[in-house]
Structure 1
């Protein structure tokens, strides 16, 4: 991971446009290629970012960027351009650098699931029909270069489906599954792979984001999977 603290201005161009004027910020470049820009507040959430897979190129500041920087009384040393597969760009114009370091964090063991979430994964692996007729389990914890996807199935058509299991489905889980799918679909032995986001509760924002990524959302009834909720015993 590269950590850079510098004066910078940031411009994002894609489905929306955003501009951050010149200020001192933290820029993080992770091993998977993702880039995020942070201020000294807002907890973990970056001001702007580009998720992997993306490409980073570094070059001299062009005249139009220099003009903006000059108006803000800053001299630029270089400009980073981060671009993803959809053509969105994140342009970071670097001024004075206060800190620049690289750190090898090694292989992360991943988030340890709580008891309910881990048990959900086991139950879904044992009950592929929770997703539809004709589904079969390929394996649990299917490895990718950035960590394992919880479950890999084949659906009734024989196509691969990657399933990420959460107790509470939020935006971070959708982003995680998106990264897994990008890597799995780059493998000709697996592609095409579609994604399913499975959770006991899925927040509206996560459901909306999943829809834009072509990811299906499935609500999981934990008690029903455990056999504690017997449909034959219901009055209605």
Structure 2
């Protein structure tokens, strides 16, 4: 992983155009080719990013950019679309590279991990015709708990929590925004599944077209009187 802290401006061109004015930011270049632009706020969500497959080239600035104080330009081009990220570096404050090795993945504890395992084994409880693609489907910003297909063959991302709150809905929303940019997956819909879902989280999920499912842990384990009931 390469970490660069720099005064920079960023332009995103593609299905939408976005501009980040000149400011000091953290630029992350990962081994999988993804490039993420972070500020010193906004939690872990990047301000902008380019997910793989993509390629990055460092080029010299154009004459008008030199006049504006630009020292170098990163051009990040997506391999399967016209999406492009252009980062203009005015001053590099830090530049380092680190070999992180192979990550073993996220290991979840307690009931949440068991819920994921049980739901994956009985994915049909989400609806007739649902099939499992895989657990812990990795994205550039973290793993989605479950990726599955509905009866029509469309992709569905499932985020599982013990207690579902607004942060969980926001997390799933970020996954969906990223996954829907992948032409091999999109369109991707979302299911927010938890043993208990707060009213505010349910309202936000519904507003964003995300389906909410209340999970019954005992029912999934097969020890509930109602058998395999989810609700």
Query: The TM-score by the shorter chain falls in which range?
Result: 0.5 to 0.7
**Aligned Cα root-mean-square deviation (Å):** 3.9
Give the gaps of 5 or more residues in structure 1. Answer: 70-74, 186-190, 232-236
Look up the match of 2:89: 94
Q: Give the match for residue 128 of structure 2.
A: 133
The answer to whether the Cα contact below 8 Å between 1:164 and 1:177 also exists between their aligned partners in 2 is no
Asked if the contact 1:149/1:162 (under 8 Å) is kept, the reply is: no
Alignment partner, residue 38 of structure 2: 38
1:7 matched residue in structure 2? 7
What TM-score, normalized to structure 2?
0.67
Whole-Å Cα distance in 2 between the matches of residues 95 and 217 of structure 1?
44
1: distance between equivalents of 2:206 and 2:82? 24
- For 1:83 and 1:182, the matched residues in 2 are separated by 14
- Per-residue deviation, residues 182-208 of structure 1 (Å, max 9, x unmatched): 7893xxxxx899565342245666666
* Equivalent in 76, 91, 94 of residue 82 of structure 1: 76
Equivalent residue number for residue 171 of structure 2: 172
Determine helix, strand or coil for the equivalent of 1:11.
strand
Displacement of 1:43 in angstroms is 4.2
Residues 12 and 205 of structure 1: CA distance in aligned 2, closer, same or farther (over 3 Å): farther
> What SS does structure 1 have at the residue aligned with 2:114?
helix
Q: Distance in 2 between matches of 1:141 and 1:197?
A: 14
**Counterparts of 2:48 and 2:186, CA distance in 1:** 27
Which residue number corresponds to residue 55 of structure 1? 55
Please identify the structure whose Cα radius of gyration is greater: 1
| Count of residues paired in the alignment | 211
What is the alpha-carbon distance in structure 2 between the residues aligned to residue 6 and residue 153 of structure 1?
40
SS at match of 1:170: helix
Tell me by how many angstroms 1:2 deviates. 0.4
Q: 1:33 to 1:208 in 2, by over 3 A?
A: farther
- Structure 2: gaps spanning 5 or more residues: none
Distance 1:177-1:133 versus aligned 2 partners, 3 A rule: same
